[in-house]
Amino acid sequence: MDERAFFSEKPETRQARYQCPKCRRTAEYGIRWVRRSKKDRLPAGADEDDRAKFAKVRDYLLRVDDEVVCKACGRKFEIPSQHSLMFLDQIGGLPNDEELEREISAASGEPGPAPEAKPALPARFTRKPGGWK
């Protein structure tokens, strides 16, 4: 079964800043992506292999645009290619992020095992003032 059967696709435009290699000017560009969201359920007709694959896949964005036209000089240049695919957990603003952060801060804000409380001074040290002599 083709991996695409596991996802529903939705086009998406994201803003990104790129520097034109010709005129060196930086501008914001609306870049087209396709968001592949994992379906809630395995598609009909899936076998065991598909089931295993389906368990592993996660949502991602695939870049559609390979080049942009420079807003300053009008020349085409290629988008740096290292980010043509992004998993959604690499991008901020996911619905789960907030939850995760709350968990992290709860975990780190926890005082942990309380430092041993100093036991109150036993009475024998306080009863006789000047007992050090």
Q: Which residues contact 117 (CB under 8 A, 6 or more apart)?
A: none
CB of 71 to Zn ion, least distance (A): 8
CB of 32 to Zn ion, least distance (A): 20
End-to-end CA distance of the chain: 89
Which residue lies nearer to Zn ion by CB, 20 or 61? 20
CB of 25 to Zn ion, least distance (A): 5
Which residue lies nearer to Zn ion by CB, 18 or 54? 18
* 3-class SS shares of the chain: helix, strand, coil, % to 5: 30, 30, 40
Give the integer Cα–Cα distance in Å for 77 and 13.
Answer: 18
Which residue lies nearer to Zn ion by CB, 51 or 75? 75
Query: Interface residues with Zn ion (CB under 5 A)?
Result: 20, 22-23, 70, 72-73
Give the integer Cα–Cα distance in Å for 7 and 58.
Answer: 9
Phi, psi of 15 (to 5 degrees): -85, 140
Which residue lies nearer to Zn ion by CB, 23 or 62? 23
CB of 23 to Zn ion, least distance (A): 3
